[in-house]
């Protein structure tokens, strides 16, 4: 898959295109990607995706922007897995935000990526002040046809990034998995920490989080990217109120029956079930006792899986 970050005269051949933020690449997004690949094959066009970085809400109101469900790298990996040939990563900045809907259609879609077929959600909005919608896109398109994607429901609920965030915030990772079509996961590099876990008898792999996480608490997890294959574990994600005061979120993972130096390794933490909320304990001894109970609960969880 080719990743293109410049939109002006970006394409060397016409494309079939779908547009969106694709945060989380949930089941609704997956339906769009499947339809894109199908249409591109029928029309003999290269299947392409246009996504935005940062998310427009991060540009306009960074303090109020929702937590991201996926990194740009994770999105690109999922696009590649679906068979997308080209991904246009549009940098959402003041220049892009200032384009009128008509300018976006002409300079970006027609002149830039040379779209011949465009798929969007039925609630798609674009252009300065969100003035453009599906009807406007169909009315102004000269060189491409427009198709609207139907809503995808999961157990009577619309699959959306908002619904996934809500499920994760409530600790219902099982429901989030149903909306995503896979378990929610965070990928990152293992960094050096303060070695408190090792001193407590529970050495952890630490992943620094650049942004506010979509979920907090203590979870049973499965860790990928380690020698010997996936490992069961228990993870804490949050601000560690008993031992830290800086308020910086951190993902800490204790892997069951595993103790090896893995600093610098890129791992993926797959969230399976929430055990409890993050809590402040009276002292370190109380914290260590609770960690022991969490580890036992995690062992019981995996034993029940068989």
pLDDT of residue 283: 84
| CATH number of the 183-305 domain | 2.40.30.30
Distances (CA, A) of 63 to 66, 160, 183, 218: 9, 22, 27, 26
2-158: what CATH class?
alpha beta
Q: Range(s) for CATH 3.40.50.620 in the chain?
A: 2-158
Q: How far apart are the first and last CA of the chain?
A: 38
Phi-psi region of 248 (alpha: psi -120 to 50; beta: other; left: phi over 0): beta
- Assign 170 a pLDDT band (cuts: 50, 70, 90): very high
Residue 233 contacts residue 256 (beta carbons within 8 Å): yes
- Assign 195 a pLDDT band (cuts: 50, 70, 90): low
Q: How far apart are CA 77 and CA 79, in angstroms?
A: 6
Q: How far apart are CA 168 and CA 175, in angstroms?
A: 8
DSSP code for 98:
H
Q: Provide the whole-model pTM.
A: 0.91
Q: How far apart are CA 39 and CA 25, in angstroms?
A: 19
**Residue 179 backbone dihedrals phi, psi, to 5 degrees:** -75, -35
Structure tokens at 169: 């915030």
pLDDT of residue 138: 96
Q: Range(s) for CATH 2.40.30.30 in the chain?
A: 183-305
Helices then strands, counting H and E runs in the chain, come out as: 10, 14
């Amino acid at each position: 898959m080719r990743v293109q970050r410049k939109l002006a005269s970006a394409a060397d051949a016409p494309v079939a295109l779908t547009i969106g933020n694709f945060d989380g690449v949930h089941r609704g997004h997956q339906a769009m990607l499947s339809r894109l690949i199908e249409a591109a094959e029928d029309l003999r066009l290269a299947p392409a995706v246009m996504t935005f970085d940062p998310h427009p809400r991060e540009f306009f109101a960074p303090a109020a922007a929702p937590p991201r469900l996926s990194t740009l790298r994770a999105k690109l990996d999922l696009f590649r897995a679906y068979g997308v040939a080209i991904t246009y990563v549009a940098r959402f900045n003041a220049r892009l935000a200032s384009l009128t809907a008509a300018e976006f259609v002409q300079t970006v879609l027609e002149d830039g990526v040379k779209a011949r077929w465009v798929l969007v959600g039925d609630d798609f909005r674009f252009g300065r002040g969100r003035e453009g919608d599906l009807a406007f896109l169909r009315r102004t398109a000269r060189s491409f046809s427009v198709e609207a994607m139907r809503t995808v429901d999961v157990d009577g609920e619309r699959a959306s990034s908002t619904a996934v965030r809500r499920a994760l915030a409530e600790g219902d990772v099982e429901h989030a998995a149903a909306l995503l079509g896979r378990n929610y996961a965070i990928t990152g590099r293992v960094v050096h920490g303060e070695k408190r876990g090792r001193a407590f008898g529970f050495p952890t792999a630490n992943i620094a989080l650049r942004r506010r996480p979509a979920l907090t608490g203590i979870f049973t997890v499965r860790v990928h990217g380690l020698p010997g294959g996936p490992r069961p574990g228990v993870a804490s994600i949050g601000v560690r109120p008993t031992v830290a005061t800086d308020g910086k979120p951190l993902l800490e993972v204790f892997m069951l029956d595993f103790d090896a130096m893995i600093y610098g390794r890129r791992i993926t933490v797959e969230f399976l079930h929430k055990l409890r909320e993050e809590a402040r304990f009276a002292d370190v001894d109380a914290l260590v006792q609770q960690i022991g109970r969490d580890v036992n609960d995690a062992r019981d969880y995996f034993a029940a899986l068989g």
